[in-house]
Amino acid sequence: MGKIRPDVPDAELAVLKALWDRGPATIREIADMLYPGGDVAHYATVQKLLERLQGRRYVSRRRNGNVNVFAARVARDDLIRRRLRDTADKLCEGSMTPLLTQLVEARGLSADELAELRAMIDRLEKGGSSR
């Protein structure tokens, strides 16, 4: 797969979120998730968004009978990682520290989140993976 741009407009991101949450789906199924009780215009909007996402290789399409079934080609974690790296490059000369500091301080962390963060730091210090 080629390089994927990290920026995804909000409308396209909503389609990706639907695919991440539900798994592979038809245009109708995605439209019903995003626009309950929607009309033909909503269906056409989702179709156009899927075409854009497919063109940029964020989603794949396969034929199942007479319908197209779409699936996310990029994992949520991969997109998060790309977007954070892009933000760090643009705002912090590539350093993740100011970005991470702001994320943690702005939101605060629960006891469980702090424990998870400490465990991840311990794994990284021991040379393990953060995942």
Q: Residue 96: pLDDT above 80?
A: yes
Cβ-contact 34, 28 below 8 angstroms: no
Residues of the chain with CATH 1.10.10.10: 10-72
Cα–Cα dist 72/21, whole Å: 10
Work out the average pLDDT over 6-21.
Answer: 91
88 alpha carbon, distance to own chain's centre: 17
**What's the token pair of residue 72?**
């996310």
**What's the token pair of residue 96?**
């993740």
pTM: 0.76
Cβ-contact 9, 52 below 8 angstroms: no
Please, what CATH class does the domain formed by 10-72 belong to? mainly alpha
CB atoms within 10 A of CB 117: 13
Would you place residue 54 in the very low, low, confident or very high pLDDT band (cuts 50, 70, 90)? very high
In percent, the amount of the chain with pLDDT more than 90 equals 65
Work out the average pLDDT over 65-76.
Answer: 95
Residue 114 contacts by C-beta under 8 Å, 6 or more apart in sequence? none
Higher confidence at residue 48 or residue 129? 48
Residue 87 contacts by C-beta under 8 Å, 6 or more apart in sequence? 99
Work out the average pLDDT over 46-69.
Answer: 96
Would you place residue 1 in the very low, low, confident or very high pLDDT band (cuts 50, 70, 90)? very low
